[in-house]
Structure 1
Amino acid sequence: PQWLQVLNHRLWLVIVICIYATFAGMLMSGFAVGTVTSVEKRFGLSSTETGAMPSAAEVASAVVGVTASYLGDRGHKGRYLSVGALVMAVGAFTYSIPHFATEKYVVASFSSNYTDLCLVNSSLLSGSCDASSSVSSNSYLRNFFFLFLISQLLMGAGNNLIWSVGTTYIDENVPPVSSPLYVSSLFVISIIGPSLGYIIVGIFLDMFVNWPEAAPPGLTPQDARWIGAWWLCFVISAVCLLAASIPLFGFPRKLPGYEEYKRIRQEEAKATNRIDKGYGNSVSDFLKASRDLFKNVPFVCLFISGTFEFLAVNGVTWFFPKILETQFRLPSSEASLTVGYISIVGGCIGMLLGGVLLRVLKLKGRGATKLTWIIGICDCIVFTVFLLGCNNLPFAGVTSPYGSNSVNAVNLTASCNTDCMCNNVKYNAICGSDGKTYYSPCHAGCTSSYVDSNRSATIYHNCSCIQNVNRTKYSYDAIQGSCISECPQYTLFVIGASISMVSIMAKTVPSIEAIMRCVGDDQRSYALGLVSSLVRLAGNIPGPLIIGAFIDQSCILWTQECSSTRTCWLYDSRNLANYLYGSMIFVKIVSVTFFILSWWFY
């Protein structure tokens, strides 16, 4: 309609694509990442299994990205983006289906037919494993893992189009001299999406998973058994992405000024011997275009460095909230909020810094590659902040002995609780007045308890494993929840991680600028799409799997439920820090090396 033609302008195009990128970022890098721990607990998944979820998204991104980005130079980019938003909306809603298809979440210790107290010489088997019990009949939950994979495939398929087709759609419809700033704006806005996602998910994780039903009295977000309303995030994303697809469908293939901007770009390409060879007129040009790209040494070096860069970034990002929970003893909601603040501050500053440096220093192709490796060296130095973390607090039978015994291996059974029949008792950590955390009241030998309304917590007495209680200081033997202590390194880590985020994001715009200027005008969309897809296959797929395996390897307290679900309740924070730093610093050094080579051969 004529009254809508006022929107047929490059500024509105950039705004709408940025809105799409914001919603997509909220979903892929905010909601999906922030809810990892909740999904693991609810469906009994290991970190290696949840690490396979983003890998599924990357497979779809790679397959769709190569095809769509190549055809994007021949087709209607706006329509491709609209379809991508619709597919992501379907994937987001699919991700929430397991919540609606399962029974309500029940915490065993709040069930009327269950007790985890020490029952000495009783015929009642404490916490017995009864397959017919509503508390333990959850063997089907793990099957939803495959539905999560399918939803990630759908979300990944739509997400790739923003950075291949969307970037070139903007670049070809704006003045070439202003392209770096427009592209930089897209990436800055894209940082806001994940950051908002982390903040919003932090709010939802403070709401009980059975919302609008309230949590049982005494169960708080600080309790390891707490699961927040993770599913609400994905329902919201589905609605937002559906709305974003509508205006994307309405933009024309070529906006006003397209032909003039193309002429200027072609003149710049001739001046740097990046000749337009007319690719994109037929599908038969696909192999020729691919061959020319892989004969381009700077392009290949940028591709390899991008692969290693994404391996490090995507691996850590997927588990970042969980890493904070483990290393600094944070609840899920606070960890997500922290990641959100780090992302929005460090990410926005980094993206703007990369674009501004290109503009102020007037850097093109070769200059942009030099900027990437200089920033990369700074990134390697700052990354040492990931060695920070707080040591584990005493946990009876795991990191600290029962009484005077020594701890050579995990053993939750001691002479003080041998007669308590604790074998099938579920995890319900309590903090003893001796400063140790116990797996459950049964494992602490507690025989009586009551709910303290003032503390909103359960108080335990007559605990045979807790000795030498200072009665002038404590009126009880133990209290519900793990023992807590402030972590003095937390503030320093947040500052260092924010600086690290700045250095990581500052490399993004210069590397994209370098790729677009080292190939012909007719290959830019395909080059970006090919790099994006291959980087996702070679870098992003193994990243979460590797970090997930390291997290599982760092677990020192697994539990096996009646339903065969497996949950880790305690990690060795020092081992995890060493695993993360050692593997990721190696990857970052390789990335910097190939950035230097791309500059050398440009």
Structure 2
Amino acid sequence: LQVFLGALAFSFFAKGFSGSYMKSMSSQIERRFEISSSIVGIIDGSFEIGNLLIMVLVSYLGPRVHRPKVIAIGCLIMSLGAFLSVMPQFLMGRYNYERITVTVDNSSTSVSACSPESSEGGPVTDATETPSAMKNFGCEKTTNSYLWLFVLVGNLLRGIGEAPVMPLGVSYIDDFSKEENSAFYIGLVRSSGMFGPTLGFLLGSYCASLWVDIGIVDINAISINPKDTRWVGAWWLGLLICGTVSFIASLPFWFLPYSLPKEGENGNLKISHLMSKQLFSVFSRVYSIYLSIADFFPALKKLFGNPIFVVYIFLTILQYNSIVGLITYETKFMEQQFNVSVARAIFLIGVVLLPVTILGMFLGGFLIKKLKLHITEMTKFACITFIGAYLLSLLYFMCSCEVLQVAGLTAPYSGLKHLSSLKISFMDSCNDDCGCKLDQWDPVCGDNGITYMTACFAGCKSSSGMGKNMVFHNCSCVEGQGHGLGNSSAVLGQCQRESCTKAFPYFLALQTACAFILALGGTPTYMIMFR
């Protein structure tokens, strides 16, 4: 049993490792394939679809099949899904982000970001344009490639492969361990497995800080940094590692028996003798599975008539409503709302949230063992924790910060804090002769604390430096707000928002509290399902 516990803990580690890594890379995949957030949601949901395709059937047939070998097959399918998801990286060309500033010569150049000649067709817009006009300039995200379908199918395979690991593994423990120890063992396995998501997010943080085409392009020539919303990390690199880990996780299960002696009952009984009595012939085994499938739907109907099971479904809905959607878009939310780089957001999830979750799961299993809770008491305990966490998560709406001040979008060129929708103007007298294009986003931060869509919209006449160190000078729109010529400069990237820096620690503390409370009820829900 100890060998199986170790193997199952590592398989939990493998599935958590690859699952958390995929979650952390959602924004990178969105940018690399130039797809919408809704398609990213479909890709993420394909994992659950794969789970649902066989989860119920596998759980029902569990005791009638060779559970360790089925888990081994599942780990191999997870490995295949991870490797399949990597394929687009080798089939697509290099990633090209939109970059409108042209540099020439070597280390320091002086180029004109604002000049009538900078746009071949002349000005694309004028001061009377409104946000509704943006749709006419290619602002809607479109993709010319459907290679993201490889990622979708790979994620689907990961869901199918992961389906047998939890139900068959936990039922195997429950069948061959003492009743008073099973909850502790399950909590121990799940807690050990949570190191997978921790390392998965840390790997995601590292890969997100690497350029997507690392080893192919000159990194010094890249003019954006990981905080830029156009940055794409090496999302594919971690998937190669995830696939390898899942393959290794499958190996021990091929050598484990169909069944084990009950813990504490004749521990000296030889496994081989026990197996010889319990293994059926191939024909009788297949016939038994056939009869089980015939009884599947009546058993399912009976199951939904069980009030405890209905409560379990209710708890699970609350749990997934609080967790899945948040984790899927959490890195993107942190980036957009709090101006945190994706790499840092993933890192914080890995080193702050997941250790707290591990502690909560372990403590939940320990409390069940210590207090000797029965199934009704476990149901009440889980219900209290999940409802409490769900109500606490409503406080997320209070964790917000000021809107990014972008000239012509959320702030006027005059520098006022608020912009009336009736007075929105993308152009101003300071840049109306620059020939700026509305379909480009290459933000710069002026000395006045205002972000401009491009250096052209800031009215910058010259620049110096290269890559990330480029600085724009003689910016007429910045100068027009009370800055002299010596101070009318702008740098690449968006301006920092002070209120966001102050609000972010509160957001992180609230999320940590919610994660701990949810984890406390995690182990009881597992026991409710199997009892």
TM-score class, shorter:
0.7 to 0.9
Paired residues of 1:365 and 1:515 also in contact (CA < 8 A): no
Kindly provide the CA deviation profile for residues 283-315 of structure 1, in whole angstroms up to 9, marking residues without a partner as x: 322123212212212112212331232133211
The amino acid of 2:413's aligned partner reads: Y
Q: For residues 88 and 164 of structure 2, what CA distance do their matches in structure 1 show?
A: 27
Q: Report the AA paired with residue 510 of structure 2.
A: G
1:320 paired with 2:330, answer yes
Query: Of 483, 490, 495, which aligns to 2:495?
Result: 483
Q: Considering only aligned residues, what root-mean-square deviation do their CA atoms show, in Å?
A: 2.8
In structure 2, C-alpha distance between the alignment counterparts of 1:101 and 1:202, rounded to whole Å: 24
Cα 1:154–1:113 shift into 2, 3 Å = farther
Answering whether residue 19 of structure 2 is matched by residue 39 of structure 1, we say no
Aligned amino acid, residue 180 of structure 2: V
Q: 1:418 aligns to what SS in structure 2?
A: coil
Name the structure 2 match of 1:513: 527
1:392 corresponds to which letter in structure 2? V
Task: Give the 3 Å change call, closer, same or farther, for CA 184–434 of structure 1 in structure 2.
Answer: same
Q: 1 CA distance for matches of 2:446 and 2:519?
A: 45
TM-superposition CA deviations, 1:336-362 (whole Å, max 9, x none): 011112332221121012111111211
Q: Give the aligned partner of residue 114 of structure 2.
A: 118
Q: Which moved more, 1:494-503 or 1:458-467?
A: 458-467
Partner of 2:76: 86
Give distance in 2, aligned partners of 1:192 and 1:126: 57
Could you tell me the TM-score, scaled by structure 2's length?
0.84
In 2, the alpha carbon distance for the partners of 1:71 and 1:191 equals 27
Measure, in 2, the Cα distance between the counterparts of 1:124 and 1:284: 71
Aligned residues: 480
Alignment of 1:498-509 (within 5 A): 498-509=512-523
Correspondences of 1:118-517 after superposition (within 5 Å): 118-121=114-117, 124-125=120-121, 141-212=144-215, 213-215=217-219, 216-257=221-262, 260=265, 282-387=292-397, 388-403=399-414, 406-408=419-421, 411-423=425-437, 426-451=440-465, 456-466=468-478, 467-468=480-481, 470-471=483-484, 475-486=487-498, 487-517=501-531
Higher mean alpha-carbon deviation, 332-341 vs 139-148, is at 139-148
Letter aligned with residue 447 of structure 1? K
Contact 1:302 1:511 (C-alpha < 8 Å) held by counterparts: yes
User: Whole-Å Cα distance in 1 between the matches of residues 415 and 246 of structure 2?
Assistant: 59
Q: Aligned partner of 2:336: which letter?
A: T
TM-score, normalised to structure 1's length?
0.74
Q: Residue 116 and residue 20 in structure 1: after superposition, are their counterparts in 2 closer, same or farther (change >3 A)? A: farther
Aligned to 2:164, what secondary structure does the other structure show? helix
Q: Summarize deviations over 1:553-602 as a string: whole Å, max 9, x none.
A: xxxxxxxxxxxxxxxxxxxxxxxxxxxxxxxxxxxxxxxxxxxxxxxxxx
Q: Which has the larger radius of gyration?
A: 2
Whole-angstrom distance in 2 between the partners of 1:159 and 1:465: 56
The answer on whether the counterparts of 2:446 and 2:491 sit within 8 Å (CA) in structure 1 is yes
Distance 1:169 1:433, change over 3 A: same
Q: Is the 8 A contact 2:80 2:157 kept in 1?
A: yes
Determine if contact 2:436/2:457 at 8 Å carries over to the other structure. yes
How far, CA to CA, are the matches of 2:313 and 2:390 in structure 1?
A: 19
> Residues of 1 paired with 2:236 and 2:377: CA distance?
45
Distance in 1, Cα, partners of 2:63 & 2:352: 36
Return the letter of the residue paired with 2:358: C
Match of 2:238, as an amino acid? Answer: C
Q: Report the residue type matching 2:297 in the other structure.
A: L
Q: Unaligned 5+ residue runs, structure 1?
A: 1-9, 129-135, 262-278, 518-602
Tell me, in whole angstroms, the C-alpha distance in 2 between the residues paired with 1:384 and 1:294.
Answer: 30
Question: In percent, how many aligned pairs have the same letter?
Answer: 26
CA distance in 2, matches of 1:40, 1:127: 31
Q: Judge conservation of contact 1:116–1:441 (CA < 8 Å) in 2.
A: no
1:82 and 1:102 map into 2 onto residues whose CA distance is 32
Looking at structure 2, the residues matched to 491 and 140 of structure 1 have their Cα atoms a distance apart, in angstroms, of 36
**2:53 paired with 1:63:** yes
Residues 361-389 of structure 1, C-alpha deviations (whole Å, 9 max, x = no match): 11010110111122234313432441212
